[in-house]
């Protein structure tokens, strides 16, 4: 409220809930961003038909392109997603 920060879920909670088994936005990986930067990130709406990996990759790109989030924080967010939802982000060979 008074800190002018918004919490951004990455992967975005609406599509993540559709493709990540056990996804819970209350405990899902997120990052605090200045409100102005958060508003710049495109919001995904409607049905999501891509993979969890594609979704997270898009969110990471958006964080790099639309915010000043430190690369170390983005990397931590990526690793936390892989830790919490390993089955969703396993590479298919």
Q: 58-92: per-residue pLDDT in tens? A: 999 999 999 999 999 999 999 999 999 999 988 76
Domain boundary assignment for the chain: 5-84
Q: Cβ distance 41 to 63 under 8 Å?
A: yes
Given pLDDT bands bounded at 50, 70 and 90, which one contains residue 1? low
Cα–Cα distance list, 41 to 35, 36, 38 (Å): 10, 10, 6
Is residue 15 classed as helix, strand or coil in its secondary structure? helix
Tens of pLDDT, residue by residue over 15-42, are 999 999 999 999 999 999 999 999 999 9
* Stated pTM of the model: 0.88
Q: Tally Cβ neighbours within 10 Å of residue 83.
A: 10
């Amino acid at each position: 409220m008074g800190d002018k920060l918004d919490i951004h879920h990455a992967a975005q909670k609406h599509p993540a809930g559709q493709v990540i088994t056990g996804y819970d936005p209350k405990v899902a990986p997120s990052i605090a961003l200045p409100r102005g930067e958060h508003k710049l990130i495109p919001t995904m709406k409607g049905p999501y038909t891509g993979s969890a990996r594609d979704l997270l990759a898009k969110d990471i790109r958006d964080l790099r392109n639309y915010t000043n989030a430190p690369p170390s924080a983005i990397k931590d967010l990526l690793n936390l997603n892989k830790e919490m939802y390993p089955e969703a982000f396993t590479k298919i060979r």
